[in-house]
Structure 1
């Protein structure tokens, strides 16, 4: 492997790549001029040695499952190429099974790609009958038309040394083809594939490590909202009834009302003079002072959500004996590309946040990107005047000066531009944006026109975002608004993941871990003695990632970074 390239140095195509494939008992590594096959344990050890000596870019069909043994072993891999994530950039959407990945990478008709008969490369533990590997080995892994053979997609294929070796070889070939296609599709798409792949690897680490919590605090907060832990089903019904009565006591004679039925709740509200078309919380907020029932109902909803979704069953199922909240993570939501998480990691109710607490000897370093989407718009549109406004700590202040309006109006104008709001005060503010920042608005208008016509749009990093067609004016307008926002939100997600990937490697030698990625926010669990150094690194990594991502320093990106003991300590 002496010819393996260092990034930035000319080398044979794919010379910097090393692919891995794992089955239940066997695994394989493949690189440009060599291969190694062995047990799972042997290959995990070999990957660690190769990472230390050559630092290749690791290739796999998908991080889950093919990087799971490596992450479970505690290896910190520097660079990777995830075929599924790269495919999602090329094709858009979520579907990224190996048959389609191979077809797209090699210019084949995806509709002709074979479907696995039972499971696929992402589910190698599914039971199937043995004997498929030999036929594929005799005929080769691809059909006459270039598509992968169905046998290769079978989970049984990964049960033999020859099978995992073939899958690793196919992964290496697919990565080379994908990299060529991405470079042809968009100037930044290869770099985006690097950071998206790193984000998929980070997702495995997030799932493994979990979010630190203080169990006693969490239990007491649940109890405060939902009552004590039920001792029986009858006790649970009594607690639920008592919670309901805290609302129904404000309307004597209606104690039989079902608060979980929106129709019944609307009737209850109408009885006290509150007439609303629906019972959403934001709809009821303006009526808090109208009648005590409204305030009681809003408080009941918060308690009910904790009781039913984040109660004792949730705590038992998802908080481990090491006091870590765990859930599955994905690097791309299948739309514009945001990271997603399960089990409350992305939507933990605010009343429970005090329980997210650093473990002894540690603190959190929390960093939240400021005004990220407007700053991204300034960068991706190339509007120099808007970029100049983004040099300020508060982007909305210079925008307000440019528009000749107050700051709140300026903020409305910027949000109206990105989200396509054209009526009321937002419409007048938007016209001011058109005059002051025509290049940024033209960029958004172009995306909206494409979306209204049902044409796919591309993010700044080259991700294809499909948009459906519509036969109605309302549908076309909605698709236009979606596309207008997707090019900004998608680019913001790309920058965020490039930042997170940079932080991940920078802080690892200090024993720090990213434990939460929430939209535009990073939360790191850090040894107390390294907290100041990690906080500084998080900020410098943002500067580095933004400079690489935009190719300039024309737009300034900022983060509010703090060192805290509990997540709730962070300022809003």
Structure 2
């Protein structure tokens, strides 16, 4: 990740924290500057109102800002139009370092229980309450300490852990990328996704009927419900209560164990088709209906709340707005501002390509070189169709042993022995209750107490066949988890490196001049109204809101960032990460 360099005597880190006598919103914070040798300055007091100006001035010397929790500090700066280049998020980094098998002595970190906040501590508050969490009592559930002394102590622990770890380069890259991801998440929440609420309303009306009165169901759901009840011969059947619906289905002769759409789809009955349609539209109404527009869209922007590292593999989660569950049918509502475009890109078969790079499996890398990897498997004669290739690869990564996967995965084992050896080894470790780690050093959790009890009971002299069967099943399930953990977690690391690189490249593109007559995207806030900026991220997909005249430069930055992420993680490994790029007012993904 490129980085500008400041003067040789500039501080390498700048630690922020509150000081005794009141938190940020009511009193003062302070900063301590730390040089490369670890020497500290005296605390520099800062009044709350002066914090953005202080950070903007110090940012010219390019320090890495160290703070307790990015969502508790960064939104106030963004509201003032101040962006930073780099940070070290103590909460996120603590979660990685205190669990990583690459750290030989995790005792000091584990003893710092106050930093064991769950994913998303400090997340989820509206933008106008930025920095409110810094007033949270330190004994509150999920709180992390925001005071300066605590931050300095934790920073010392983390630096010591990194210095002593098995591979400080890799783990150092991971904590830097995780912290960069926190900045991206805060910036995307602040800027928001350009959103056409009128188009969203039109799409809902087309699917559900006109917006109903509060508390009432849309007309299309009412019609479908009546159609289902008529087919069941039960005018009082409740479609929204799974237990009641199950009884109604069985009374109509439909022998099902649950009301899941997968099981329902296996049955032939006049009630099934309208019921499945009802369930699909009901999910749309609940998850992304009119109430969702009222809550999450304002001034032409959708403001979701991302949670970096919210999944144990390092993937992101969401604690509000449902950014990670955006129905395809609503994508037309993503609409750029006048004079702006959306540049979106997603990676083809990210996880299999990451697996090929991790395992240094040249044959698997060649299958995807410059082309669709699944089609490459077909061309190499490994499987007959692209669909079979997809089933085989997903089966290999997720440990499927039955059905088509059970038939096809052995072909991969013969063709790609190095890749299969890597995931098989990870699965074997999990089956024994062991820990595995990603490419950069994020380690998996150990199995829980129930797993341990099952294994212990099966090893007793008087164990029954049922005990042994349950223990084997639990071992296989945890093996499937560790098998996928190493691949999904490393893919998340690649995506973080892509995001971090792209964020920096976008920030360094020249802002359009006033002569170019670019209408500023004012709804994106002062930090982004004239600058291309990330607005959306979903595992292997990014979206940038950019002035129309900079679309080509942004597209190049997206491609170059993907290439840089591959080199950063895997060096000269012959694995490419091809992108599907789209540019337009509405950047739709088919």
TM-score tier (shorter): 0.7 to 0.9
Shift of residue 171 of structure 1? 5.2
Computed over aligned residues only, the root mean square deviation of the Cα atoms, in angstroms, reads 3.3
Residue 36 of structure 2 is aligned to residue 40 of structure 1: no
Q: In the aligned structure 1, how far is the partner of 2:132 from the partner of 2:365?
A: 43
- Which string of whole-angstrom CA distances, capped at 9 and with x for unpartnered residues, describes residues 338-389 of structure 1? 0122212111233322222222222111101101010000011122222222
Find the aligned partners of 2:11 and 2:59 in 1 and give their Cα distance: 15
Counterparts of 1:536 and 1:474, CA distance in 2: 48
> Is 1:533 aligned to 2:553, yes or no?
yes
Distance in 2 (alpha carbons) for counterparts of 1:105 and 1:84: 18
Partners in 1 of 2:199 and 2:432 — Cα distance? Answer: 52
* Residue-pair matches, total: 518
CA distance in 1, matches of 2:153, 2:382: 60
| Match of residue 21 from structure 1 | 17
Q: 1:372 to 1:113 in 2, by over 3 A?
A: closer
Q: Is the 8 A contact 2:75 2:190 kept in 1?
A: no
CA contact (8 A) 1:30 1:168 kept: no
Task: Provide the rounded CA distance (Å) in 2 between the counterparts of 1:520 and 1:549.
Answer: 16
Would the alpha carbon gap of residues 412 and 296 (structure 1) be closer, same or farther in structure 2, given more than 3 Å must change?
A: same
Can you list the C-alpha shifts for 1:21-74, whole angstroms capped at 9, x where unaligned?
25223122211242422112323212111212x111121122121333223323
Counterpart of 1:176? Answer: 159
Give yes or no for contact 2:208–2:221 (8 Å, CA) kept in 1.
Answer: no
Please say if residues 232 and 252 of structure 2, whose CA atoms lie closer than 8 Å, have aligned partners that are also in contact.
Answer: no
Q: CA deviation at 1:442?
A: 1.2
For each residue in 1:483-503, what CA deviation from the matched residue of structure 2 results, as whole angstroms up to 9, or x when unmatched?
A: 000100000001001101111
Name the CA shift for 1:30/1:396 in 2 (closer, same or farther; >3 Å): same
1:293 aligns with 2:271: yes
Q: Does 1:50 align with 2:58?
A: yes
Residue 536 and residue 273 in structure 1: after superposition, are their counterparts in 2 closer, same or farther (change >3 A)?
A: farther
Compared CA separation, residues 375 and 77, structure 1 to 2 (3 A) = same
Change (3 A) 1:517 1:36: same
2:339 to 361, 372, 393: 361
Q: TM-score, normalised by structure 2?
A: 0.79
Task: Return the offset for 1:247.
Answer: 3.0
Greater CA drift, 212-221 or 393-402: 393-402
**Distance change in 2, residues 1:127/1:494 (3 Å):** closer
Question: 1:272·1:291 contact (CA, 8 Å) conserved in 2?
Answer: no
Give the conservation status (yes or no) of the 8 Å contact 1:59–1:175: no
- Point out the more displaced range, 533-542 or 22-31: 22-31
More displaced stretch, 551-560 vs 277-286 = 277-286
Structure 2 unaligned spans of 5+: 19-23, 35-39, 123-130, 456-470, 512-530
Within 5 A, what are the aligned runs for 1:513-524? 513-524=533-544
Distance in 1 of aligned mates of 2:4 and 2:47 = 30
Equivalent residues of 2:88, 2:179 under 8 A apart: yes
- State the alpha-carbon separation in 1 of the partners of residues 105 and 503 from structure 2: 29
In 2, Cα distance between equivalents of 1:214 and 1:91: 43
Give, in whole Å, the separation in 2 of the partners of 1:176 and 1:494.
21
| In 1, Cα distance between equivalents of 2:437 and 2:57 | 39
Q: Determine which of 236, 240, 248 is the counterpart of 1:256.
A: 236
Distance 1:456 1:10 in 2: 43
In terms of mean alpha carbon deviation, does 166-175 or 511-520 score higher?
166-175
Write the distance in 1 (CA, Å) between the matches of 2:137 and 2:401: 56
1:403·1:432 contact (CA, 8 Å) conserved in 2?
no
* Residue 304 of structure 2 is aligned to residue 327 of structure 1: yes
The equivalent residue for 2:501 is 502
1:207 — aligned with what?
189
Q: Separation in 2 of the partners of 1:73 and 1:51?
A: 14
> Partners in 2 of 1:302 and 1:487 — Cα distance?
33
Task: Provide the rounded CA distance (Å) in 2 between the counterparts of 1:193 and 1:561.
Answer: 29
Q: Supply the distance in 2 between the matched residues of 1:280 and 1:223 (Cα, whole angstroms).
A: 26
Q: CA deviation at 1:77?
A: 1.5
Shift in CA distance, 315/243, structure 1 to aligned 2, threshold 3 Å:
farther
| Residue 20 of structure 1: how far off its partner (Å) | 1.8
Q: 1:68 aligns with which of 75, 82, 104?
A: 75
CA contact (8 A) 2:346 2:540 kept: yes
Q: Is the 8 A contact 1:86 1:178 kept in 2?
A: no
Q: Is the 8 A contact 2:231 2:271 kept in 1?
A: yes
